[in-house]
Amino acid sequence: MKIALLGYGKMGKTIEKLALEKGHAIVYKSTKESSEGKFEDAEVAIEFSSPEAAVGNISKALEAEIPVVSGTTGWLKQYDEMVNLCEKRNGSFIYASNFSIGVNLFFSINKYVAELLAPWKEYNVSVEEIHHTEKKDAPSGTAITIAEGILNHSDKKEWKLDGDKPGELKISAKREDDVKGTHTVSYDSTIDTISLKHEAHSRDGFALGAIIAAEWLKDRKGVFTMKDVLKIKD
Ligand X SMILES: O=C(O)C1=N[C@H](C(=O)O)C[C@H](O)C1
Ligand Y SMILES: NC(=O)C1=CN([C@@H]2O[C@H](COP(=O)(O)OP(=O)(O)OC[C@H]3O[C@@H](n4cnc5c(N)ncnc54)[C@H](O)[C@@H]3O)[C@@H](O)[C@H]2O)C=CC1
Bind-site residues for NAD(+): 41, 71-73, 96-99
110 interacts with, out of ligand Y, ligand X, none, CB within 5 to 8 A per kind = none
Using rule CB under 6 A, residue 110 touches ligand X: no
Nearer to ligand Y, 53 or 83 (CB): 53
Q: How far is the CB of 52 from ligand X (least distance, A)?
A: 14
Active-site residue (options: 29, 131, 153, 170): 131
The phi, psi pair for 226, rounded to 5°, reads: -65, -25
Among positions 37-76, residues that touch ligand X (CB under 6 A) are 73
> What number of H helices and E strands is found in the chain?
7, 12
* Residues in CB range of 45: below 8 A, 6 or more apart: 3, 4, 5, 6, 39, 57, 61, 66, 67, 68, 69
Answer yes or no: are the C-beta atoms of 145 and 97 closer than 8 Å: yes
Q: Stretches 34-42, 52-60, 120-128, 137-145: which one binds ligand X (CB under 6 A)?
A: 137-145
**Residue 27 CB, nearest approach to ligand X (Å):** 25
Torsion of CA 201, 54, 136, 109, to 10 degrees: -40
- 131: annotated active-site residue: yes
Compute and round to an integer the Cα radius of gyration of the chain: 18
Mask for 9-48, x = binds ligand Y (CB under 6 A): xxxx-----------------xxx---------------x
Q: Which residues, including other chains, have CB under 8 Å from residue 33's CB and lie 6 or more apart?
A: none
Q: Does 227 bind ligand Y (CB under 6 A)?
A: no
* Paired strand residues for 128: 172, 184
Q: Which of 97, 104, 110, 126 binds ligand X (CB under 6 A)?
A: 97
User: Is 135 a residue that touches ligand X (CB under 6 A)?
Assistant: yes
Interface residue with ligand X, options 140, 170, 208, 226 (CB under 6 A): 140
Alpha-helix runs per DSSP H in 26-127: 54-63, 79-88, 101-117
In the residue annotation, 180 being an active-site residue is answered as: no
| CA proximity to 110, closest of 143, 140, 141 | 143
Instruction: List, in order, residues 6 or more apart from 166 with CB less than 8 Å away.
Output: none
Query: What amino acid positions are annotated as catalytic residues?
Result: 131, 135
Binding residues (CB under 6 A) for ligand Y: these are 6-12, 30-32, 48-50, 53, 56-57, 71-74, 96-99, 134, 206
Binding residues (CB under 6 A) for ligand X: these are 73, 97-98, 131, 135, 140-142, 181
